[in-house]
Structure 1
C-alpha cells in the first residue's frame, strides 16, 4: 500500500512542477505576444 501512496505523491509533485512551468511559459508568451516589451523599449 505504501508503494501506491509513494507513486501518487511523486505523480502529484510532477504535476505541480509541470503546472508551474507551463504557467511561467504561458505568462512569458502572453507578455511578449501583446507587444508590451517592444513598446517599452521604443518609449525609452
Structure 2
C-alpha cells in the first residue's frame, strides 16, 4: 500500500496520508503559512 508524506527536502514533515489528495491539501495549507519553504508530496510503498 502506498503512503503519502509531506516533505521538505529529505525530511518528513507530516504523514502518512492514505491518499495523495489528503497529502496535497495539507501541503497547500502549510505552504500558505510558511514563506520560502518548499513543501512536496512524496509517495512511499
More helix by share: 1
- Compare relative contact order (CA 8 Å, sep 6+) and give the higher one, 1 or 2: 2
Same fold (TM over 0.5): no
More strand by share: 2
Q: TM-score range by the shorter chain?
A: 0.3 to 0.5
TM-score where L is the length of structure 2? 0.35
Q: Which has the larger radius of gyration?
A: 1
TM-score where L is the length of structure 1? 0.36
